[in-house]
């Protein structure tokens, strides 16, 4: 008894999944090809193939050509990092919105993003004089700082909002606002006392940027990112039931309290990693899941993976624009995602009644 | 063969966090009653008498003292969800699920397979007269339509006796008729009686005394957190009890076609 409407949903899903799968390699290729130095598509493709088939160098001299250097050493790691970070932001946003039963919730609302960047800023401030932060130990230190800061923020928000009765979503959101304000003012104080170089580093971090991309960062992102991207979709059914309400989900046989703790920690880890590796990038975790939900509905079995794909596509395209629009100057990608995202989001809000959202 | 499915023995519930037991901190005070398999129990009483609180305690949502025993209930959450379905008073769902998806959520604790689940969802939709809404968005529905979707969902959760471990099936409904028109009230009560005839024990909070009188087997009257009366409809729905419960003078007549009492306000 499948009606026309149901087939409509299935074909909608198929179209959206197909588009996302096609757009990801296209946007990835655009990110490699465009930049301050424009490289033709055929050269980009050739260089990419070269990097895969390393056994046979293109020229007999053993020297790496300029094109190969740009594509393989600068743009490829950056594009890979953008894809993973975008995917993490997309899937973490979708998870947070399900967890809070609010289609407008976002990891930054529960204080994870602010906590992570405060942790990063603290590390830059205190460790900046000890080690040079450009090296791998420095980068690792800042990453750990961001990760710890994000986790502390979540644990703090969570312990404020949770008691034996369960977690109050409203209290958690309010606590998140308080933590965001606290972490923000902490970062501001550090900026006030920091010297010019520290100031610049901290503010670049806060605006977001992928310019520090390297294969080391890509490796960290790939390992931890793929763990989170694999684990989160396992909670799809639980998130579907949670949308009904917490006691309803419990009556459907789910151990709601433990599921919520796991989801909160996974989101903290995902956002912490992305902040550590690429700084604060706004709007992706808010817009992508919202947009996908309007297209295919709130079923998390589809929403989570497609949000990951959509986040990767949006961040790749945004970063390409950030690198090229006022070339040779690079804009922080967070500015571009906000400028791209905000009008789109507003137009979705205006049309929300067509999709049954209030 | 009578099987006592739900036994509530001297159950008391206090406001969470209240240290001293003052008159206001006790929500339910030492209430006892029982429901057999295949029976429908209506809980009646004034606003704030503790009806929903007692129902929440049976559902396992809040702490209580005393004993609530459900015969044959599983200690595994997933299996228990195949035995007990709960309709809350207020639905929080504000995501644009399709109606069929909302009802389909009821099959989460089951392993009956996609095809069987789809069949059960369609049957539950038909039972609640909402199959024509199947592909509409839940958020676009009226209050009464949403209520019927939620009812179809809880029915679909305990649809088959075979799915429930030990054949234990308990349905808890908090004001299921609140948003329904007269026709759909009758439809719902018919569906509840049908489930009961297949061995489901039903506990429902009702404000409409005449619906309770017509369709329930037993009634529990709560007055200011305490049990005023418990027993058959004839034992509970009396002039004195209605006067004590609601401070209203009534005349108790007999239903022209059924044997049940009819409460007429004076």
pLDDT score of B110: 94
Residues in A closer than 8 angstroms to B106, CB to CB, are: 252
Q: Do A251 and B82 touch (CB under 8 A)?
A: no
Residue B20 or A40, more confident = A40
Task: Sort out which chain A residues have CB atoms less than 8 A from B149's CB and list them.
Answer: none
**Contact: B98, A240; criterion CB under 8 Å:** no
Task: Please tell me which of the candidates B81, B92, B137 has its beta carbon nearest to residue A252.
Answer: B81
Interface probe, candidates A166, A251, A355, chain B, greatest B C-beta count within 10 A: A251
The CA-based diameter of chain B, rounded to the nearest angstrom, is: 55
CATH numeric code, B4-238:
3.40.50.300
Contact B97 A253 (CB under 8 A): no
C-beta atoms of A6 and B135 within 8 A:
yes
B60 contact residues in A (CB cutoff 8 A)? 250
Asked if CATH classification 2.40.50.320 holds for the domain at A81-311+322-355, the reply, yes or no, is no
Task: Provide the pLDDT for residue A358.
Answer: 44
ipTM of model: 0.91
Q: What is the pLDDT of residue B22?
A: 65
Q: Where are the domains of chain B?
A: 4-238
Contacts of A244 (CB under 8 A, 6+ apart): A252, B91, B92, B93, B102, B105
Task: Tell me if A297 and B96 make a contact (CB, 8 A cut-off).
Answer: yes
A245 neighbourhood in chain B, CB within 8 Å: 88, 91-93
Report the gap between the CA of B7 and the closest CA in chain A (Å).
20
Minimal C-alpha gap between A233 and chain B (Å): 16
Sign of the C-alpha dihedral computed for residues A17, B95, A5 and A294 taken in this order: negative
A5: closest chain B residue by CA:
B135
Contacts of B96 in chain A (CB under 8 A): 293, 297-298, 355-357
Q: Are A298 and B96 a contacting pair at CB < 8 A?
A: yes
Contacts with A274 (C-beta within 8 Å, 6 or more apart), sequence order: A85, A88, A89, A92, A281
How many residue pairs bridge chain A and chain B with CB atoms within 8 Å of each other?
A: 95
CA distance to partner chain B, nearest, from residue A165 (Å): 8
According to the model, what pLDDT value does residue A260 have? Answer: 87
The mean pLDDT value of chain B amounts to 91
Long-range contacts of A217-221 (CB under 8 A, 24+ apart): A217/A77, A217/A81, A217/A139, A217/A277, A218/A77, A218/A80, A218/A81, A218/A84, A220/A143, A220/A273, A220/A277, A221/A80, A221/A81, A221/A84, A221/A85, A221/A88, A221/A273, A221/A277
Q: Which of A4, A250, A298 sits opposite B97 (nearest CB)?
A: A298
CB contact at 8 A, B213 and B55: no
SS3 label, residue A64:
coil
A252 and B140 within 8 Å at the Cβ level: the answer is: no
d(CA A60, CA B35): 89
Quote the pLDDT of residue B20.
60
Average pLDDT (B167-185) is: 93
Give chain A's count of helices (H) and strands (E): 15, 2
Phi, psi of B17 (to 5 degrees): 90, -5
CA angle, B212 as apex, B210 and B213 as ends, to 5°? 60
Calculate how close chain A gets to B92, using CA atoms only, in Å: 6
What does each of the 358 residues of chain A score in pLDDT, given as a tens digit? Answer: 444 455 566 678 889 999 999 999 999 989 988 887 888 888 888 887 777 665 454 454 555 677 787 877 888 999 999 999 999 999 999 998 888 777 767 777 678 888 988 888 888 888 766 655 555 666 677 777 877 888 788 778 777 766 544 456 667 778 888 888 998 898 888 878 878 877 777 776 665 568 777 788 888 888 889 999 999 999 999 999 998 888 899 999 999 989 988 988 888 888 888 888 888 787 888 889 988 988 898 999 999 999 999 999 999 999 999 889 887 888 888 888 888 777 776 776 676 565 444 4
Q: What is the pLDDT of residue A199?
A: 79
* Distance separating alpha carbons of residues A44 and A34, to the nearest angstrom: 10
Please tell me the distance in Å from A210's CA to the nearest CA on chain B. Answer: 34
**Band (B125; pLDDT cuts 50, 70, 90):** very high
Under an 8 A CB cutoff, do B96 and A245 touch?
A: no
What mean pLDDT do residues B40-63 have? 93
Q: Which residues of chain A have a CB within 8 Å of the CB of B101?
A: 297, 299
Tell me: pLDDT of B89 over 90.
no
Q: Do B108 and A1 touch (CB under 8 A)?
A: no
CB A120 within 8 A of CB A212: no
Mapping DSSP to helix (H, G, I), strand (E, B) and coil, where does residue B228 land? strand
- Boundaries of every domain in chain A: 81-311+322-355
Nearest by CB: B81 against A1, A3, A251: A251
Predicted confidence at residue A2, as pLDDT, reads 44
Tens of pLDDT, residue by residue over B143-175, are: 999 999 999 999 999 999 889 999 899 999 999
- Give helix A76-99 / helix A4-33 axis angle, nearest 10°: 150
Specify the pLDDT at position A6.
Answer: 55
Residue of B nearest to A240 (CA): B105
Which of A1, A2, A100, A291 is best to mutate for the B interface (most B CBs within 10 A)? Answer: A1
Q: How buried is residue B2: exposed, middle or buried, by Cβ count under 10 Å (0-12/13-18/19+)?
A: exposed
* Beta-carbon separation of B96 and A250 below 8 A: no
* Cross-chain residue pair B78–A253, CB shorter than 8 Å: yes
H or E element: which one contains B5?
strand B4-14
Residue B105 and residue A244: Cβ atoms within 8 Å?
A: yes
- The chain B residues in contact with chain A (CB within 8 A) are 16, 59-61, 77-82, 84-86, 88, 91-98, 100-102, 105-106, 108-109, 118, 122, 134-135, 137-140, 157
> Which of A139, A152, A130, A131 lies closest to A277, judged by CA?
A139
Closest CB to A1: pick one of B81, B122, B139: B122
- Taking only the tens place, the pLDDT of each residue in B186-244 is 999 999 999 999 999 999 999 999 999 999 999 999 999 999 999 999 999 999 999 99
Chain B residue nearest residue A103, CA to CA: B95
Q: For residue B156, which of A252, A16, A42 has the smallest C-alpha distance?
A: A252
Per the CB < 8 Å rule, is B98 touching A250?
Answer: no
């Amino acid at each position: 008894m499948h009606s026309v409407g149901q087939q409509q949903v299935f074909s909608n899903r198929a179209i959206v999944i197909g588009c996302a799968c096609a757009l990801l390699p296209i946007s990835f290729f655009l990110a490699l090809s465009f930049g301050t130095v424009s490289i033709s598509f055929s050269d980009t493709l050739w260089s990419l193939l070269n990097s895969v088939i390393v056994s046979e160098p293109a020229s007999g001299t053993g020297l790496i050509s300029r094109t190969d250097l740009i594509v393989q050493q600068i743009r490829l790691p950056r594009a890979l990092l953008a894809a993973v970070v975008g995917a993490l932001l997309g899937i973490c946003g979708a998870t947070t919105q399900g967890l809070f039963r609010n289609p407008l919730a976002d990891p930054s609302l529960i204080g994870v993003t602010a906590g992570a960047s405060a942790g990063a800023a603290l590390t830059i401030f205190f460790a900046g004089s000890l080690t040079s932060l450009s090296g791998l130990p420095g980068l690792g230190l800042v990453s750990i700082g961001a990760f710890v800061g994000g986790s502390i923020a979540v644990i703090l928000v969570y312990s404020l909002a949770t008691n034996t009765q369960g977690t109050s979503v409203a209290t958690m959101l309010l606590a998140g606002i308080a933590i965001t304000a606290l972490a923000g003012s902490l970062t501001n104080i550090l900026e006030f006392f920091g010297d010019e170089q520290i100031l610049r580093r901290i503010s670049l971090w806060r605006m977001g940027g992928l310019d520090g991309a390297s294969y080391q960062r890509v490796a960290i992102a790939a390992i931890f990112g793929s763990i989170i991207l694999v684990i989160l979709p396992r909670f799809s059914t639980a998130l579907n039931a949670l949308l009904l309400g917490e006691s309803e989900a419990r009556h459907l046989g789910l151990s709601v309290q433990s599921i919520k703790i796991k989801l909160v920690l996974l989101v903290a880890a995902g956002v912490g990693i992305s902040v550590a590796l690429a700084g604060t990038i706004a709007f992706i975790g808010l817009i992508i899941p919202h947009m996908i939900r309007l297209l295919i509905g709130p079923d998390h079995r589809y929403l989570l993976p497609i949000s990951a794909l959509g986040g990767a596509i949006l961040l790749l395209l945004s970063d390409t624009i950030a690198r090229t629009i006022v070339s040779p100057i690079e804009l922080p990608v967070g500015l571009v995602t906000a400028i791209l995202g905000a009008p789109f989001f507003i137009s979705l809000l205006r049309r929300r009644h067509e999709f049954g959202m209030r | 063969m009578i099987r006592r499915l739900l036994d509530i023995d001297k159950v008391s519930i206090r406001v969470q966090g209240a240290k001293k037991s003052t008159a206001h901190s006790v929500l339910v005070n030492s209430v006892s009653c029982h429901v057999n398999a295949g029976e429908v129990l209506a809980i009646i009483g004034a606003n704030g008498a503790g009806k929903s609180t007692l129902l929440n305690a049976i559902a396992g949502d809040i702490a209580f003292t005393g004993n609530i025993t459900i015969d044959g209930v599983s200690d595994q959450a997933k299996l228990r969800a195949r035995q007990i379905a709960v309709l809350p008073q207020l639905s929080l769902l504000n995501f644009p699920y399709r109606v069929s998806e909302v009802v389909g959520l009821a099959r989460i604790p089951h392993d009956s397979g996609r095809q069987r689940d789809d069949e059960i969802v369609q049957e539950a939709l038909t039972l609640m007269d909402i199959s024509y809404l199947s592909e509409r968005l839940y958020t676009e529905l009226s209050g009464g339509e949403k209520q019927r979707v939620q009812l179809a969902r809880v029915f679909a959760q305990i649809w088959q006796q075979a799915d429930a471990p030990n054949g234990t099936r308990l349905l808890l409904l908090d004001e299921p008729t609140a948003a329904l028109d007269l026709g759909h009230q009758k439809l719902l009560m018919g569906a509840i009686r049908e489930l009961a005839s297949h061995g489901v024990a039903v506990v429902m909070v009702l404000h409409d005394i005449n619906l309770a009188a017509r369709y329930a087997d037993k009634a529990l009257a709560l007055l200011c957190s305490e049990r005023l009366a418990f027993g058959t409809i004839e034992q509970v729905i009396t002039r004195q009890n209605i006067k004590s419960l609601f401070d209203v003078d009534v005349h108790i007549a007999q239903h022209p076609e059924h044997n049940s009492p009819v409460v007429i306000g004076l």
